[in-house]
Amino acid sequence: MAKASVCISLSFILSFFNIFQLPSGGGVSLESLPLMILAWSEGPAAGLAGGIACGMLLLMKPSCIVHPLQFLLDYPIALSSFAIVGFIGKNSGHIKKWAMSASAFTARALCHTLSGVLFCSLFLKTPPENILIYSAAYNLSYMVPTAIICSILFIWISSGIEKRNMPQSERESK
């Protein structure tokens, strides 16, 4: 419970610090990293609960919500996608960690893209001709760099934790 609280709080705090911010929302940040670590260390159920809790906390930040489904897709569902990382299991190789990280970020990007389609169709007087492509391009412009940075840091941190938790004899052989 304490680890979940710390990870959720850290994720919320990191959401205020962006490497760059896009004009209509979204930006490159490390807010996903604590949720990934939570799901990896405590399992998918903790990752799901942590993502939902963090999504609800993010409502305290200024946001533009035009529809209940858009809210669900952008906040609790998108952030709970990191529960996927919880299926990795301890002492997994780098390739499995990359694959699960990519799966989690793909799920999150899909949530934000669908939310963008909903937002554009409801809010813009003249939406772009192909809303899906516009929304995907917009969201991937910040999700891809975020995914790369957070995945690299996640693999580095999780590997360090795994190595630290190994018996001394195994650590010396690696």
- Supply the range of the domain harboring residue 19: 2-163
Under 8 Å between Cβ of 23 and 140: no
Residue 63 lies in a domain: yes
* Structural domain count of the chain: 1
| 80 neighbors 58 (Cβ within 8 angstroms) | no
Place of tokens 């975020």: 146
Q: Is residue 170 part of a domain?
A: no
- Phi and psi at 100, nearest 5°, equal -70, -35
Q: How far apart are CA 7 and CA 99, in angstroms?
A: 22
Residue 172 covered by a domain:
no
- Domain-embedded: residue 174: no
User: Which segment of 57-66, 79-88, 110-119, 153-162 scores lowest on mean pLDDT?
Assistant: 57-66
Phi-psi domain of 44 (left: phi exceeds 0; alpha: psi -120 through 50; beta: other): alpha
**What confidence tens digit (pLDDT) does each residue in 34-48 have?**
999 999 999 999 999
> Rg for the chain (alpha carbons), in Å?
17
| 3-class DSSP assignment, residue 20 | strand
CATH of the domain at 122: 1.10.1760.20
Task: Please check whether residue 149 lies inside any domain of the structure.
Answer: yes
Question: Which residue's entry shows tokens 């893209």?
Answer: 113
| pLDDT per residue as tens digits for the range 77-122 | 999 999 999 998 777 888 999 999 999 999 999 999 999 898 888 8
Give domain status of residue 64, yes or no: yes
At a CB cut-off of 8 Å and minimum separation 6, what does 22 contact? 138, 141, 142
Q: Is residue 150 part of a domain?
A: yes
In a domain, 148, yes or no: yes
* Dihedral pair phi/psi, residue 110, rounded to 5°: -65, -45
